[in-house]
Amino acid sequence: MNWSVILGLVLRYTYIIRRSVPRMIEMLFWPMLDLLVWGFLTIYLQKLNHGTPSAVTFLLGAMIFWDVLFRSQQGMTVSFLEDVWTRNIINVFVAPVRVREFLTATALVGLIKVGIIIVLLTVVAWWLYGFNLTVLGWGLIPLFVNLMVMGWGIGMVTTALIMRFGQAVEMLAWAIPFLFQPLSAVFYPVSVLPPWLQAVAWGLPSTHVFEGMRSVLAGGGFPSGYLLWAMGLNAVFLAAETWFFMWMYQSTREKGYLAKLGTQ
Amino acid sequence: MDEMVRVKNLRKEFGALVAIEDLSFSVARGEIVGLLGPNGAGKTTALSILMGLVTPTAGSVRVFGLELERNRVEVLQRMNFSSAYTALPSNLRVEENLTVFARLYSVKNPREKINELLELLEIAHLKKRVVGRLSSGESARVSLCKSLLNDPELLLLDEPTASLDPDIADKVRKWLRQVQRDRGIGMIYTSHNMRDVEEVCDRVLFMQKGKIFAEGTPRSIVAQFQEKSLESLFIRVARSGDVEEV
């Protein structure tokens, strides 16, 4: 791994955010909007239920956690798309950049985006709704890490699909993560899903993270069981997703799509 | 002369389409070789294979004596590319773009190198300008700056003067000749502009339907086919549709 290359790519993607007000707004606007809508909804629900505070914490916590997964995926795929949109992708791929360096750089961009958004959401959630994310204690970090890793994996798959099928499928960058939302039991416990769907849901690392989060917020201890499952599943998924990316990358080189992608 | 590129029996199929049928050529150190041919002749595919963007169906590509597919990063570290069909990120400043690429090519003293190249291409005054607001001539020079950042031994140029006015195109040709003389850079040059080719290239590979059908200096090729110029030969090849008819 050449860290000069990785830093160069990270620099390139962060320059874009710094240089573009619409991109900066896009990065912060949707999470903030989500927080406001879900925050006020939970206050309303709390009133209807004569003040059960757990409703607020569950929903706001879930919303912030979901953003970790979604933004880490976006950091990866949108970074790639930025180079496609600006017809720069060939310049990057004919530079001495290894695929693993490219993936590491885009994953780091996801990490930076997640970091900024989480700090902002945590402050605003505490200020507006009195929701303190740090009640999750140290368990928060491994839960976040697992969601980020899952986001990176989905990011690799969406990037690979765009690389292979071109800009015509770029909407997948936003659509695919949401395929996992209902199954991950983000805003409700897995137990509300039909039994056959529960089996599928438990096959996702994110489901274990969200269940773990709810268990901590409900006063349970460190969610080590959930974490172990999430880590194990993430390891399996990440290996499969890396293989899929490499397979697609080779396929685009064989079929000549990579050379066309940047000049269409 | 020292051989930098050796392409042997290269073949590339995209399904039923044969983009390159049987291509063999070499490029010596410091030599400028033009790849000429009508659309669909296989020039861009050949260039893409040389950059590792496309994998060949058969044949071998050795650059700097190294097998390209197995030594992709090492080879790319010593070459660079500029094309009229790619662009640098439009919302970044010239300096930012070049800094990013200096890092990708692990350039030592990037700031000095960037300043030196901006001076060489007479665009030092554009350093703080956003690339998207530059004219096409200025953008082409920034792209050339990017392609010289790593002091490449081999430069691949895909129609570098396309969309430039005659004055800037002329300047670009002179810069290319100058950097080739001063730094001994070898170049592979594709263009539809025959004047480019006649003025810049030491040797021309005239391609049609994935094969080379003529090779030599621009002047010798014109003489061989008893044409007035490369341009008239190009038109003849493009309209005949078949090498045998030329």
Tell me the pLDDT tens digit for each residue of B148-168: 999 999 999 998 888 788 888
Cross-sheet strand order for the sheet of B203-208: B66-67, B58-63, B3-14, B17-28, B211-216, B203-208, B32-36, B186-190, B154-158, B79-83
Cβ atoms of B13 and B213 within 8 Å: the answer is no
pLDDT confidence of residue B168 = 83
Which of B68-77, B82-91, B184-193 has the highest average model confidence (pLDDT)? Answer: B68-77
Q: Chain B closest CA to A190's CA: distance in Å?
A: 44
pLDDT in tens, A165-194: 988 898 998 999 999 999 998 988 999 999
Residues in chain A closer than 8 A to B86 (CB atoms): 87-88, 90-91, 262-263
Flag if A95 and B53 touch (Cβ within 8 Å).
no
Assess A90–B contact: CB distance below 8 Å, yes or no: yes
Q: Is B157 helix (H, G, I), strand (E, B) or coil?
A: strand
Of A253, A255, A262, the CB nearest to B86: A262
- The third-level CATH classification (topology) of the domain covering B1-77+154-162+186-246 is Rossmann fold (3.40.50)
Question: What is the mean predicted confidence (pLDDT) over B124-141?
Answer: 90
The reply to whether residue B91 touches residue A94, judged by beta carbons under 8 angstroms, is: no
If one counts every other C-beta atom within 10 angstroms of the C-beta of residue A250, the result is 13
User: Angle at Cα A110 formed by Cα A106 and Cα A116, nearest 5°?
Assistant: 140
Of A74, A33, A41, A62, nearest to A174 (Cα)? A74
Nearest to A96 among B44, B77, B89 (CB): B77
Chain B, nearest residue to A252 by Cα:
B54
CA angle A75, A181, A226 (to 5 degrees): 95
Q: Are A133 and A65 in contact (CB under 8 A)?
A: no
Taking an 8 Å Cβ-Cβ cutoff, which residues of chain B contact chain A?
Answer: 12, 14, 19, 44-45, 48, 51-55, 73-74, 76-77, 80-81, 83, 85-93, 96, 99-106, 130, 146, 156
Residue A133: its pLDDT value, please?
81
The three state secondary structure string of B73-119 is: HHHHHCEEEEECCCCCCCCCEHHHHHHHHHHHCCCCCHHHHHHHHHH
A247 contacts on B by Cβ (under 8 Å): none
* Structural domains of chain A, count: 1
Task: Judge whether residue B246 has pLDDT over 50.
Answer: no
Short-list B26, B23, B25, CA closest to B2: B26
Q: Is the pLDDT of residue B10 over 50?
A: yes
Mean pLDDT of A213-227: 84
Using CB atoms within 10 A of its CB, is residue A67 exposed (0-12), middle (13-18) or buried (19+)? buried
Mean pLDDT throughout A87-102? Answer: 93
**Cα B98 to Cα A75: distance, rounded to the nearest angstrom:** 23
Contacts of A97 in chain B (CB under 8 A): 73, 104
Query: Residue B167: what pLDDT?
Result: 84
Please judge whether B103 and A263 are an interchain contact, meaning their C-beta atoms are less than 8 angstroms apart: no
Does the pLDDT at position A69 exceed 80?
yes
- Can you tell me the mean pLDDT for B134-139? 87
Model ipTM? 0.88
Q: Read off the pLDDT of each residue in B110-139 and give the average, rounded to a whole number.
A: 91
pLDDT level of residue B245 (50, 70, 90 thresholds): very low
Q: For chain B, give the percent of residues with pLDDT over 90.
A: 54
CA distance A263 to chain B (A): 6
Please compute the mean of the pLDDT values over residues A58-65 and round it to a whole number. Answer: 87
Q: pLDDT-based confidence at A52, cuts 50/70/90? A: low
Residue B27: is its pLDDT beyond 70?
A: yes
Nearest to A96 among B12, B73, B88 (CB): B73
CA distances from A148 to A114, A142, A176, B132 (A): 8, 10, 15, 34
**Is the pLDDT at B87 greater than 90, yes or no?**
no
State the Cα–Cα distance between residues A146 and A141, nearest whole angstrom. 9
User: Distance between CA atoms of B115 and B117, rounded to whole angstroms?
Assistant: 6
Burial of residue A163 (number of CB atoms within 10 Å: 0-12, 13-18, 19+): buried
Cβ within 8 Å, pair A258-B53: yes
Could you list the residue range(s) of the whole structural domain that residue A203 is in? 3-261
Residues of chain B with CATH 3.40.50.300: 1-77+154-162+186-246
Section A59-69 average pLDDT? 90
In this prediction, residues A116-120 reach a mean pLDDT of 91
Pick the more confident residue, A156 or B184: A156
pLDDT computed for residue A264 by the predictor: 58
Task: Give how far Cα B83 sits from Cα of A263, B20, B142, B171, Å.
Answer: 10, 21, 11, 16
